[in-house]
C-alpha cells in the first residue's frame, strides 16, 4: 500500500492500523523526536568529502560504481550530498539511481529532506513536480511528491516516519517534470524506543475510565 504526501501541505498523518506515524514537515518531526533526533546535514565536512562505502555517525553510505557520493556546498551554505559534476564546487543529481542507506544500529525513526534543481535560472513552469519511492525495511513502500513553487528553480520536500524497526532505506526518483538533478539535504534518525501505539491507547482509555468513575462516585468529605 502506498501513502501519499505533498511537500506543500504541512500535515501530520497517523494510521490507526499501524504503529507508525508519518510526517511531511521537518520541524514537526524534530519537535516530536526532541532530544532523540540525530541530524546528519554534512555541514561539518570539508568540500568534496567522499562518503561512498563508508560508515559515519551510524550511517553506511552506498558504494558507487560510477560517480562517488560527495559532500558539497551547492549554493549559499546549502550543504548537500550529491555527485561531483567534474569540477570543484559543482554537483550533479542522482537522476533515477536507487540509493540504499544502512544504519549501524536499528532505527525507530527516519527523516529525509530532498532537494531538487531544474538547472534553469528562469525557474519552472507552474505545476512542475517530481515523485519518489522510499522503501523502509520492515515497514513498507512510501510515495513522496515534491511540488515546485511557481517560477522557482528549486524545490524541497521532506518525508518522515516514526515507530519503525529498521536498519535501512532505499529511495529512487520515479518521475520528474523538471527532469534534472536531485540531492539530499539531510538525514534524520533516532534509535530511541518510542511508546507503542497500543500502550498510548491504553493510557488514554484508563484516563477516560478514571474520569467517569470520579464523576459517578464523588468524594464525600465528612465534617470533623
Asked whether the predicted pLDDT for residue 7 surpasses 60, the reply is no
In a domain, 65, yes or no: yes
In a domain, 28, yes or no: yes
In a domain, 154, yes or no: yes
Please choose, from the candidates 65, 69, 142, 147, the residue with its C-alpha nearest in 3D space to the C-alpha of residue 101. Answer: 69
How far is Cα 153 from Cα 183, in angstroms, rounded to an integer? Answer: 14
In a domain, 223, yes or no: no
In a domain, 211, yes or no: no
Determine the structural domain holding residue 158 and report its residue range.
Answer: 4-196
Percent of the chain predicted with pLDDT > 90: 34
> Which of the four pLDDT bands, split at 50, 70 and 90, describes residue 124?
low
How far is Cα 109 from Cα 68, in angstroms, rounded to an integer? Answer: 27
Which of 42-56, 113-127, 161-175: highest mean pLDDT?
161-175
Read off the pLDDT of residues 190-204 as tens digits, 9 standing for 90 and up.
Answer: 998 765 444 444 444
In a domain, 92, yes or no: yes
Instruction: Tell me the β-bridge partners of 142.
Output: 134
Q: Give the chain's domain count.
A: 1
Instruction: Look at residue 179 in the predicted model and tell me its pLDDT.
Output: 63
In a domain, 215, yes or no: no
Read off the pLDDT of residues 55-110 as tens digits, 9 standing for 90 and up.
Answer: 998 999 988 766 788 888 766 557 788 876 555 555 555 667 788 999 999 999 99
In a domain, 222, yes or no: no
> Which of the four pLDDT bands, split at 50, 70 and 90, describes residue 18?
low
Read off the pLDDT of residues 207-224 as tens digits, 9 standing for 90 and up.
Answer: 445 545 445 544 444 444
3 state SS of 162: strand
How far is Cα 67 from Cα 193, in angstroms, rounded to an integer? Answer: 36
Please choose, from the candidates 191, 198, 186, the residue with its C-alpha nearest in 3D space to the C-alpha of residue 165. Answer: 191
End-to-end CA distance of the chain: give it in Å, rounded.
66
Amino acid at each position: 500500500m502506498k501513502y501519499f504526501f505533498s511537500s506543500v501541505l504541512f500535515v501530520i498523518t497517523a494510521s490507526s492500523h499501524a504503529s507508525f506515524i508519518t510526517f511531511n514537515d521537518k520541524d514537526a518531526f524534530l519537535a516530536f523526536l526532541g532530544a532523540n533526533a540525530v541530524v546528519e546535514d554534512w555541514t561539518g565536512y570539508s568540500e568534496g568529502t567522499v562518503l561512498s562505502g563508508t560508515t559515519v555517525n551510524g550511517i553506511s553510505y552506498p558504494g558507487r560504481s560510477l560517480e562517488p557520493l560527495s559532500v558539497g556546498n551547492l549554493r549559499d551554505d546549502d550543504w548537500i550530498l550529491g555527485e561531483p559534476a567534474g569540477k570543484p564546487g559543482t554537483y550533479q543529481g542522482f537522476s533515477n539511481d536507487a540509493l540504499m542507506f544502512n544504519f549501524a544500529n536499528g532505527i525507530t525513526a527516519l527523516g529525509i529532506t530532498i532537494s531538487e534543481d531544474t538547472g534553469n535560472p528562469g525557474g519552472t513552469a507552474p505545476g512542475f513536480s517530481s515523485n519518489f519511492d522510499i522503501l523502509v525495511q520492515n515497514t513498507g513502500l512510501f510515495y513522496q511528491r515534491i511540488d515546485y513553487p511557481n517560477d522557482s528553480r528549486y524545490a524541497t520536500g521532506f518525508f518522515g516516519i516514526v515507530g519503525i524497526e529498521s536498519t535501512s532505506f532505499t529511495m529512487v526518483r520515479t518521475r520528474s517534470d523538471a527532469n534534472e538533478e536531485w540531492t539530499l539535504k539531510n538525514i534524520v534518525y533516532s534509535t530511541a524506543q518510542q511508546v507503542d501505539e497500543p500502550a498510548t491507547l491504553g493510557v488514554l482509555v484508563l484516563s477516560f475510565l478514571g474520569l467517569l468513575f470520579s464523576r459517578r462516585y464523588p468524594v464525600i468529605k465528612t465534617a470533623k
